[in-house]
Amino acid sequence: MIEQEQRSETIQTLSVTSLPKTYEPQSVEGKWYRFWEEGGYFMPRPNPSRRPFVISMPPPNVTGALHVGHAITATIEDILIRYHRMRGDETLWVPGEDHAGIATQAVVERLLASEGTDRHKVGREAFIARVWQWVHQYKSRIQDQHRRLGASCDWSRERFTFDEGLSKAVREVFVRLYEEGLIYRGERIINWCPRCMSAISDLEVNHVDTAGKLTYVRYPLKPRAGETQTAYISVATTRPETILGDTAVAVNPSDARYQDIIGRMAILPVIGREIPIIGDAAVDASFGTGAVKVTPAHDPTDFEIGKRHHLPEIQVIGFDAIMTAEAGPYAGQERYEARKNLVEALDKLGLIVKIEDYVVPLGRCQRCDTVIEPLISKQWFVKMMPLATPALNAVKYGLIKILPERLNKTYVDWLENIHDWTISRQLWWGHRIPVWYCDECNEMTVSREDVSLCAHCGSEALLGLARTYSGPTALLSYNCDGDGVRYHLLLGGAYGDGRYSFHGDDPLRDHLPAWTGA
Q: What is the pLDDT of residues 95-105, one digit of tens each?
A: 999 999 989 99
- For β-strands 274-279 and 248-251, DSSP reports them as parallel
User: What is the SS3 string spanning 268-320?
Assistant: CCCCCCEEEEEECCCCCCCCCCCEEEECCCCCHHHHHHHHHHCCCCCCCECCC
Amino acid symbol at 101: G
Average pLDDT, the chain: 87
- Residue 331 predicted with pLDDT over 70: yes
Q: 27-174+498-516 belongs to which CATH class?
A: alpha beta
State the pLDDT at residue 228: 83
Between the alpha carbon of residue 469 and those of residues 102, 363, 490, the distances in Å are 16, 23, 11
**CATH code for the part of the protein at 180-190+381-494:** 3.40.50.620
Q: What is Dmax (Cα atoms) for the chain?
A: 122
| Banded pLDDT at 16 (limits 50, 70, 90) | low
**Whether the predicted pLDDT of 123 surpasses 90:** yes
Residue 293 backbone phi and psi in degrees, to 5: -75, 145
CA distance 305 to 297: 11
Name the β-bridge partners of 91.
Answer: 53
Q: What are the C-alpha distances in Å from 139 to residues 56, 188, 492, 496, 503?
A: 17, 36, 20, 17, 21
- Over 226-283, what HEC string results? CCCCCCEEEEEECCHHHHHHCCEEEECCCCCCCHHHCCCEEECCCCCCEEEEEECCCC
Listed in order, the ranges of the chain carrying CATH 3.40.50.620 are: 27-174+498-516, 180-190+381-494
User: How far, in Å, CA of 429 to CA of 162, rounded?
Assistant: 10
For residue 155, the model assigns a pLDDT of 97
> Which pLDDT belongs to residue 49?
86
- Its CATH class, for the domain covering 203-365, is alpha beta
Instruction: Tell me how far apart the alpha carbons of residues 365 and 372 are, in angstroms, rounded to a whole number.
Output: 6
By the 10 Å C-beta count (0-12 exposed, 13-18 middle, 19+ buried), 334 is classed as middle
Mean pLDDT of 189-194: 95
